[in-house]
Amino acid sequence: MPKMTDTKVRYQEFRLPDVGEGLQDAEIVRWHVGAGDTVTDGQVVCEIETAKAVVELPVPFEGVVRELRFPEGATVDVGEVIITVAPPDAAGPPDAAGPPDAAGPPEEPVRTPVLVGYGAAAAPTARRPRRAAPAPAPAGRGADRPRAKPPVRKLARDLGVDLDRVRPSGPHGDVTREDVRTAAATSAGPAGAPGPAAPGSVASGPAASGSPAPGSVAPGSVAPGSVASGFVASGPVAPGLAAPAPAASAPAAPGPVPAEAYETRVPATAVRRATARAMTASAFGAPHVTEFVTVDVTRTMKLVERLRKDPEFAGVRVSPLLLAVRALLFAVRRHPEINASWDEERQEIVLKHRVNLGVAAATPRGLLVPNVKDAQSLTLPRLAAALDGLVTTAREGRTTPADLAGGTLTVTNIGVFGIDTGTPILNPGEAAILALGAIGPRPWVHRGRVVPRQVTTLALSFDHRLVDGELGSRVLADVAAVLHDPRRLATHG
């Protein structure tokens, strides 16, 4: 009997870790390796999307990738094995080529409970089914069954569409509702198109009219029960006459189209689900008050143009948002009570000694609010670089959980979408959020005359449990005063 070391290899299993803040599950966004690839200690093997960000996962050992346990797009619980790696000197191909020592005597497909991952893997049919993965390999890596959500499969059944014949167009190679409806319309063909002749029906064309084909019955001599020129005779028929054929069976009337055929359901990303939970909790858990002020920001716009030409700001984005952030930091310094949070359990106001200023960023995966740590201590050039870096990183999907944690105040720039103002919802755990509206020329009274000036509307939402109307009004008035005349930063800062 061969030794265990001759037929089994010790494989290392990499389990989905908790990348921070009590992660429960994550979606595998992209694999960077495949079965048979060689990996090194610390090499990034995949990207996962948590409720807050997309995170790169490095593997903590080296070797040859034996198996990817989940496809791209699968949601995996923390602690689940996502990839197995064989030592660099281990012989034998990955699982796709079959289990090692296949020609030897069969072994029972069980694992020693105390040696997780030790020994040859069981055949694929012996593995327990995965909760979120329809196949053990990523999409495009040998999956046989077309990927489709259960509602899409039901729609295909209702419309009589074979999913195996549908070309998928989904983001991860999955079949969408539109794909099914397109396939159904294509297979149905144009109305009135000829289909296969039914038994006993009369075919059209040269053989059915005109000169008789060999072996056919010429018109005028139709025998009972025979077919000629599109007529059927069922009894004695006078020469030249034929009894009309029974009416062809009409096509079955189409059944009612299911209501879901006119809908498209899009699975929510982890970021979108987290945003939904957070906004619902904030909107219905904190009593919001929103105040507005319209202000002439012509001087601020002139300052923005000057800063863009300043060598100190070379290579960074300078926008009105930068000066709005600086104006809010100026207001926080004058009214530090706005930089706080409410402790519901202990019924206390928690004053924050540092300003971690969040900037709402729209990304392909949803809303993210990374924050600049200790923003109150940064110079204007460093603040500009920090804001530029955070927004760029968020839009590229590289925001880390640390960038999203610990925010104390938030600014959102809805003006970039051409929106004048709004009522922003508080980021959970914060006392205020400032919205900067669109900036544009409006008629304005300036030095006793109505002239066009650059004007915007500011909105400040605050938590009325710890911010009274007076405090909120003073903060908003200070922000407006600085944007109206940025020189206040020097004279009152």
Active site residues: 464
| The two three-digit tokens of residue 13, written as one number | 């299993």
DSSP annotation of 364 reads T
Is the separation of the CB atoms in 359 and 370 below 8 Å? yes
**Which residues lie below 8 Å from residue 460, measured CB to CB, with a gap of 6+?**
290, 291, 292, 432, 433, 434, 435, 472, 475, 476, 479
Strand 12-15 with 371-372, pairing: unpaired
| The two three-digit tokens of residue 155, written as one number | 């729609």
Q: In angstroms, rounded to a whole number, what is the distance separating the alpha carbons of residues 179 and 163?
A: 9
Is the separation of the CB atoms in 441 and 301 below 8 Å? no
Compute φ and ψ for 413, nearest 5 degrees: -105, 85
Tell me how crowded residue 207 is: count the other CB atoms within 10 A of its CB: 13
Alpha carbon distances (Å) from 188 to 158, 166, 168, 204, 298? 14, 14, 19, 22, 62
Q: In angstroms, rounded to a whole number, what is the distance separating the alpha carbons of residues 55 and 227?
A: 74
Is the separation of the CB atoms in 372 and 389 below 8 Å? no
Letter string b/e over residues 33-61, b meaning 16 or more CB atoms within 10 A of that residue's CB: bebeeebeeebebbbbbbbbbbbebebee
Q: In angstroms, rounded to a whole number, what is the distance separating the alpha carbons of residues 34 and 141?
A: 9
Strand 409-413 with 371-372, pairing: unpaired
Nearest to 441, CA basis, from 449, 450, 433: 450
